[in-house]
Amino acid sequence: MEGTSTRWIARCWLGAVVLAGAAGCATPPGQADPGAAQGGAPTAAPSASASPSPAVSPSASPSPKPAALGTVPGPDKAFLLQAVDRIEDPVLTVTASGRIGTYPGGADTGEREQFMLAPLSPGAKTYLLKTARLRVGGEPVCAGIEAGVLHTVACDAADRSQRVTLAARGADASGAATFDLVVGGYQVEVAKDGKVSLVKRGSTPAKTRFRFVPSGTVGQWP
């Protein structure tokens, strides 16, 4: 009887040990099951914090560019012809007598100071210099040579004394393109006192450079 009781107790003790071992394999609360982590969806790695963008220095504003050298107003553009580096910035004007003189560029200019270029043929570099607004008998007049002076005359493309060419002279201090003005083979010169004269065109650049000052579109006037 005692032996039977001893065997029964031993079996019970062994069963308790087995049960305890099994219970010990359970995952303790609060700990992740490594097997479950492998079989489940992969855990996303924490994204790396974005590195700060490098500071970009503001680019310097582009400096104003000089007007393109060789730029000449189109045939529909009115302009003033202003002498460079002269007192009062004189512009060419048609006087009451029909001569071409100068007028202070800073004063109230009008139709007598506004000119236009008419190419002798499309794309030609030889022009007639016409009045843009001023009309005589309903027609514009042209710059030409009369009695050795620069004068307005009835426009005639066949008259060589009216043919105008321009020689590029680079940019002035403001960046505007400048030109020698040649009418009928003579350079147009403006003295310091504003008087206009003509000098036979030669190999020497003119003493007076001119720049074009826009003054509207020819087509806006009758």
For 59-91, what is each residue's pLDDT tens digit? 443 433 434 445 899 999 999 999 998 888 899
How does 81-114 read in b/e, with b if 16+ C-beta sit within 10 Å?
bbbbebeebbbbbbeeeeebbbbebeeebeebbb
Q: Determine the pLDDT at residue 50.
A: 45
Flag whether 209 is in a domain: yes
Q: Determine the pLDDT at residue 119.
A: 96
Q: How many CA atoms lie within 13 A of 168 on its CB side?
A: 11
User: What residues contact 151, with CB distance under 8 A and at least 6 apart?
Assistant: 98, 99, 100, 143, 144, 145
Cβ pair 123, 163 in contact under 8 A: no
Indicate which CATH number applies to the domain containing 155.
2.80.10.50
β-bridge mates for residue 163, sequence order: 128
pLDDT confidence of 105, banded at 50, 70, 90? confident
Flag whether 68 is in a domain: no
The total domain count for the chain is 1
Q: What is the pTM of this model?
A: 0.67
Flag whether 87 is in a domain: yes
Which residue's entry shows tokens 């730029």? 71
Average pLDDT rounded to a whole number, residues 19-29:
41
Q: Determine the pLDDT at residue 173.
A: 87
Least confident of 19-23, 96-100, 133-137, 171-175: 19-23
Whether the per-residue pLDDT at 99 is higher than 50: the answer is yes
Q: Determine the pLDDT at residue 178.
A: 95
Which residue's entry shows tokens 């710059």? 143
Query: Could you count the other beta carbons within 10 Å of the beta carbon of residue 19?
Result: 10
How many whole angstroms separate alpha carbon 192 and alpha carbon 87?
7
Whether the per-residue pLDDT at 93 is higher than 50: the answer is yes
How many whole angstroms separate alpha carbon 166 and alpha carbon 58?
42
**Which residue stretches of 111-173 are H helix?**
none
User: What residues contact 154, with CB distance under 8 A and at least 6 apart?
Assistant: 136, 139, 141, 142
Flag whether 56 is in a domain: no
Flag whether 172 is in a domain: yes
pLDDT tens-digit series, residues 115-155: 999 999 999 999 999 999 999 999 999 999 999 999 999 99
Whether the per-residue pLDDT at 168 is higher than 80: the answer is yes
Flag whether 9 is in a domain: no
Flag whether 153 is in a domain: yes
**Which residue stretches of 25-177 are H helix?**
34-39
Average pLDDT rounded to a whole number, residues 158-179:
93
Flag whether 196 is in a domain: yes
Q: Determine the pLDDT at residue 221.
A: 52
Domain enclosing residue 82, as ranges: 77-216
pLDDT tens-digit series, residues 182-222: 999 999 999 999 999 999 998 888 999 999 999 988 865 54
Q: Determine the pLDDT at residue 70.
A: 52
